[in-house]
Amino acid sequence: MRPPRGITLLQGLSGLEASLAPWRSRRGGLGLVPTMGALHAGHLSLVAQSRRRSACTLVSIFVNPTQFGPGEDYGRYPRTLAADLKLLSGQGPLIVLAPSAADMYPAGHATRVSVESPLAQVLEGAHRPGHFAGVATVVAKLLSLAGPCTAFFGEKDWQQLQVIRRMAQDLRLPAKIHGCPIIREADGLAMSSRNAYLSAGERALAPRLKASLDLALARLKAGDSGAAACRKARAFLERGGHFKAGYLVLADAETLQAPRKGKPRRLLAAAALGKTRLIDNLAA
Ligand code: AMP
């Protein structure tokens, strides 16, 4: 596949170090934006942040099998490399790494990075056993391939961001982890590659998830306890019978456990809309 001008496309790991090396000593150094592709404006905002701070950005496009559980959507996850490259054109200098599963996990690969913190065991961790170990393993590997860099992650996956921060700190990886705000559609729906699964009818209902978080925030501001605010927001979300809430909670923003006095808090929600599972979160 021929990439647009300003983009170096690597569909395997060979040649990666040679492509990265000239940028390491440049002012700003390397930025890394890990993605699973099916790019949208949320991903592009990470690339834009990296561009502002880094001499060159490495965008990885890899649908990582180890972070999908059995019965999840690994097989049908959208794979749209040509369209992704088109979207990235004009954002250079860019190196796009789109390896195969065999490149990332060759025969004999036997190492797994697991963040053994309660942080990784609740919410998404509880619903998707093994998910964060899959994420941590692939991100550790990408950070190792990138070398010293600033890595950009979306707050859309708030818990994932905290897990990655923990891992990078624990392993003393030579990477700065930079969180980027959630990019939303005009009606509030957080952009996500999985939104493509929604039928037209479901798409029209989808903003209710963000609206339920807004309601919880309003109730907190009005003096409700966290539990009461979340109960009302959950009832609102499920009214009409379209959404089935997985969780809708107020948590400590860093530990994802019970809120701590004087520390930042986060409202986090996951819900199924038909066969599609959506997640969202909000500062509280
Ligand atoms: P994904 O391709 O879904 O694995 O996402 C790759 C990166 O893009 C992750 O750091 C996500 O948190 C981030 N991301 C996905 N959607 C959004 C969004 N709507 N706003 C900001 N960042 C996002």
> End-to-end CA distance of the chain, in Å?
45
Q: According to the model, what pLDDT value does residue 1 have?
A: 83
Q: What is the mean pLDDT of residues 65-86?
A: 96
pLDDT band at 160 (very low <50, low <70, confident <90, very high): very high
Q: What is the mean pLDDT of residues 10-15?
A: 97
Q: According to the model, what pLDDT value does residue 238 have?
A: 98
pLDDT band at 283 (very low <50, low <70, confident <90, very high): very high
Output the residue whose Cα is nearest ligand 1's atom 12.
154
Q: According to the model, what pLDDT value does residue 82 have?
A: 97
Q: What is the mean pLDDT of residues 180-184?
A: 98
Contacts of 124 (CB under 8 A, 6+ apart): 131, 132, 159, 160, 270, 279
Q: What is the mean pLDDT of residues 129-152?
A: 98
The verdict on pTM exceeding 0.95 is yes
Contacts of 40 (CB under 8 A, 6+ apart): 183, 191, 192, 193
d(CA 63, CA 149): 22
Q: What percent of the chain has pLDDT over 70?
A: 100
**Strands, E, within the chain: which ranges?**
7-10, 30-35, 56-61, 94-97, 149-154, 175-180, 243-252, 265-273, 276-283
Q: Which of the residues 43, 109, 131, 242 is marked catalytic?
A: 43
Contacts of 118 (CB under 8 A, 6+ apart): 255, 256, 257
Q: Which two tokens stand for residue 119?
A: 């942080």
d(CA 143, CA 149): 8
Is 43 marked active-site?
Answer: yes
User: Which ligand 1 atom lies nearest to the CA of residue 46?
Assistant: 22
Output the residue whose Cα is nearest ligand 1's atom 17.
42
Domains of the chain, with CATH numbers? 7-180 (3.40.50.620), 193-283 (3.30.1300.10)
d(CA 151, CA 79): 23
Q: How far is CA 56 from CA 49, 111, 124, 148, 267, in A?
A: 11, 29, 32, 12, 34
Q: What is the mean pLDDT of residues 243-253?
A: 98
CA of 224 relative to ligand 1 center, distance in Å: 31
d(CA 250, CA 257): 9
Could you say which DSSP state residue 181 is in? P
Ligand 1: which of 32, 44, 46 to mutate, most ligand atoms within 8 Å of CB? 46
pLDDT band at 92 (very low <50, low <70, confident <90, very high): confident
Q: Which two tokens stand for residue 254?
A: 């860093």
CA of 199 relative to ligand 1 center, distance in Å: 21
CA of 223 relative to ligand 1 center, distance in Å: 32
**Angle, vertex CA 48, rays to CA 87 and CA 115, nearest 5:** 100
Summarised one tens digit per residue, pLDDT across range 196-245 is: 999 999 999 999 999 999 999 999 999 999 999 999 999 999 999 999 99
- How far, in whole angstroms, is CA 224 from its chain's centroid? 30
C-alpha atoms less than 13 angstroms from C-alpha of 118 in its C-beta half-sphere: 7
Q: What are the pocket residues of ligand 1 if the criterion is a CB atom closer than 6 Å to any ligand atom?
A: 35-36, 42-43, 45-46, 153-154, 156-157, 180, 182-183, 190-193
